[in-house]
């Protein structure tokens, strides 16, 4: 199948699976332990049913919206994902370019393989930084200041990563924790000559982190010995609020009481997330947590949802239940692995078309008409 023939995100996933070595696809596609949470994210969307309005004039529709106070062509964010340079050369930059071209925000991961400054210069658009809190807080602070200087408009502080989840697929291939590849993985690489000739010519490097390491320390030793800070707690949130004068989001919220506490601490937005099923296996999905959290925090702050979004109808369901939009993780990366920036663009086009169709078929003319009454009660 060629890229232009992909009619849904599943098709892009199939193309990506063939194009890259197994260890790359396993990293993108997999989750923690038994992958209960990974599957549950998609299943939770599938359980939701629409109660569409009928006999509504939907001949003119508008899929644009406002995210964090600024226009977005769609209610989506191309979200933060790691090791994108394994899926396509300069993968993070290609994701950012496609997002900018589509008129939607791009959130760069702390462990991006492209420098924040390069992305800001070569893919000007709405840029957010997803920040992990490292055991050496000076590195986190330095990355945040660089993003601020580069013109990033949002900081997405990640709270659900005190330790890394047990991603068994990555352990089996040897990708994690320190890229000690198995013989089978090395042979698989040889079966993908095009990937070897392009992507594999550059060893994965966390270039933004690398720039901030003290003399004598390399990325491998940093990653292998207590990279993340398990002591990160509520009292520390004030430091980051003071450090970042622009829009601040807290990512990893799944409880109403935590959401209320985050709002009281001064965040501008919440990202409901279980890290795409890559951390705690058995966690509730973001879409399941959404209604209770929306009731708890009222109309503000902005709420974004991630995890399991594979259809434009999923975007509509999230908005109907109270989200301002969704953050896309795997969907654009499937496109990236399938065909670089063109593949990411295709992923966005597919979701945009499905979302627009869902608006029409539910009797909605714009994002604001997606309301809770369009979703059937769980007992229905």
Classify residue 72 by its DSSP letter: E
| Beta strand ranges found along 26-184 (DSSP E) | 65-67, 70-72, 76-78, 106-109, 127-131, 154-158
| Whether 274 contacts 37, CB under 8 Å | yes
- Alpha carbon distance 53, 362 (integer Å): 6
Cα 323 from Cα 68, distance rounded (Å): 12
| Residue 70 near residue 121, CB atoms below 8 Å | no
89/198 Cα distance (integer angstroms): 7
As a residue count, the chain comes to: 380
Peptide bond into 206 cis (omega under 30): no
192 is catalytic: no
Can you list the alpha helix ranges (DSSP code H) found in 151-233?
168-173, 183-190, 193-198, 207-212, 219-224
* Phi and psi, residue 306, nearest 5°: -135, 165
The H or E element containing residue 218 is none
SS3 366: strand
Gap between the Cα atoms of 129 and 271, Å rounded: 13
Q: Name the residue among 374, 247, 239, 347 with its Cα closest to residue 12.
A: 347
Which of 22, 192, 225, 275 is the catalytic position?
Answer: 275
- φ/ψ of 304, rounded to 5, equals -115, 150
Q: What is the CA radius of gyration of the chain?
A: 20
Quote the Cα angle for 129-130-131, to 5°: 105
Cβ 312 vs Cβ 351: under 8 Å: yes
How far apart, in whole angstroms, are the C-alpha atoms of residue 378 and residue 380? 6
Active site residues: 275
């Amino acid at each position: 199948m060629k890229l232009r023939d992909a009619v849904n995100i599943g098709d892009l996933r199939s193309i990506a699976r063939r194009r890259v070595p197994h260890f790359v696809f396993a990293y993108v596609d997999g989750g923690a332990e038994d992958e209960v949470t990974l599957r549950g994210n998609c299943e939770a969307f599938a359980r939701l049913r629409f109660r569409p309005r009928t006999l509504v004039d939907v001949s003119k529709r508008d899929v644009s919206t406002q995210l964090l106070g600024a226009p977005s062509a769609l209610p989506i964010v191309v979200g933060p994902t790691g090791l994108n340079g394994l899926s396509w050369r300069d993968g993070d930059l290609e994701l950012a370019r496609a997002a900018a071209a589509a008129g939607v925000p791009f959130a760069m991961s702390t462990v991006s393989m492209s420098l924040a400054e390069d992305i800001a210069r070569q893919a000007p658009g709405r840029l957010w930084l997803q920040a992990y809190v490292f055991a050496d807080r000076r590195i986190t602070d330095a990355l945040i200041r660089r993003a601020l200087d580069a013109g990033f408009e949002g900081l997405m502080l990640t709270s659900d990563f005190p330790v890394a989840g047990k991603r068994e697929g990555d352990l089996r291939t040897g990708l994690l924790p320190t890229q000690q590849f198995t013989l089978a993985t090395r042979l698989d690489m040889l079966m993908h000559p095009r990937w070897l000739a392009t992507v594999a010519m550059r060893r994965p490097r966390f270039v933004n982190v690398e720039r901030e390491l003290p003399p004598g320390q390399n990325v491998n030793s940093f990653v292998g010995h207590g990279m993340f800070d398990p002591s990160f707690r509520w009292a520390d949130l004030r430091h980051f609020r003071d450090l970042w004068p622009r829009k601040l989001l807290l990512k990893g919220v799944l409880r109403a009481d935590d959401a209320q506490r985050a709002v009281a601490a001064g965040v501008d937005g919440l990202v409901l997330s279980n890290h795409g099923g890559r951390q705690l296996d058995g966690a509730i999905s973001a879409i399941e947590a959404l209604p209770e959290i929306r009731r708890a925090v009222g109309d503000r702050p902005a709420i974004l949802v991630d995890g399991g979004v594979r259809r434009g109808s999923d975007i509509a369901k999230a908005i109907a239940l109270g989200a301002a939009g969704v953050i896309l993780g795997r969907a654009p990366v499937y496109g990236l692995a399938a065909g670089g920036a063109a593949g990411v663009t295709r992923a966005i086009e597919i979701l945009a078309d499905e979302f627009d169709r869902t608006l029409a078929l539910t009797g909605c003319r714009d994002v604001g008409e997606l309301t809770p009454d369009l979703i059937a009660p769980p007992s229905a």
